[in-house]
C-alpha cells in the first residue's frame, strides 16, 4: 500500500497508526487468498509431489523464522531513521552488528 509506505518513509507515526488496521486487514486477506490458491495447486499433485511440496513449505517456514530472528528490530523504530539521517557513518556498523553469525 503506497500510502502506508509513504507514511513510513516520512516517519508519520500518526498516519501509520491510522492506516495499520487497513494494512493488517489487507495482509490477512492476501494470506487467505494465497492459502486457497496453494490448496488448489496442491490438489493436482500426486503423492510424491505432495510430499515434495510439504518439504518445500517446511523449509520456507524455517527460513522465514530464521530471517525474522535475525532482523534488525531497530529499523522499524522511527528514531532509527533519525539516527541514520544524522549519523550515516553509524549505519554500516549497526548493520554489521545485527548480521547472523555463521
The tens digit of pLDDT for each residue in 19-48 reads 999 999 999 999 999 999 999 999 999 999
Report the candidate in 101, 29, 34 with the shortest Cα–Cα distance to residue 69: 101
pLDDT averaged over every residue in the chain: 79
In a domain, 97, yes or no: no
What per-residue confidence (pLDDT) applies to 2? 87
In a domain, 15, yes or no: yes
- The tally of domains found in the chain comes to 1
In a domain, 17, yes or no: yes
Domain that holds residue 27: 2-70
pLDDT for residue 80 is more than 80? no
Report the candidate in 5, 33, 30, 31 with the shortest Cα–Cα distance to residue 19: 5
User: Is the entire prediction scored with pTM above 0.95?
Assistant: no
Amino acid at each position: 500500500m503506497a500510502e502506508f509506505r509513504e507514511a513510513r518513509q516520512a516517519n508519520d507515526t500518526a498516519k501509520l497508526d491510522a492506516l495499520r488496521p487497513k494494512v493488517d486487514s489487507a495482509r490477512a486477506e492476501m494470506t487467505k487468498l494465497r492459502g486457497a490458491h496453494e490448496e488448489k495447486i496442491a490438489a493436482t499433485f500426486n503423492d510424491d509431489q505432495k510430499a515434495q511440496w510439504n518439504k518445500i513449505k517446511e523449509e520456507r517456514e524455517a527460513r522465514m523464522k530464521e530471517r525474522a530472528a535475525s532482523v534488525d528490530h531497530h529499523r522499524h523504530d522511527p528514531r532509527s531513521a533519525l539516527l541514520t539521517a544524522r549519523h550515516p557513518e553509524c549505519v554500516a556498523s549497526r548493520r554489521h552488528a545485527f548480521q547472523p553469525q555463521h
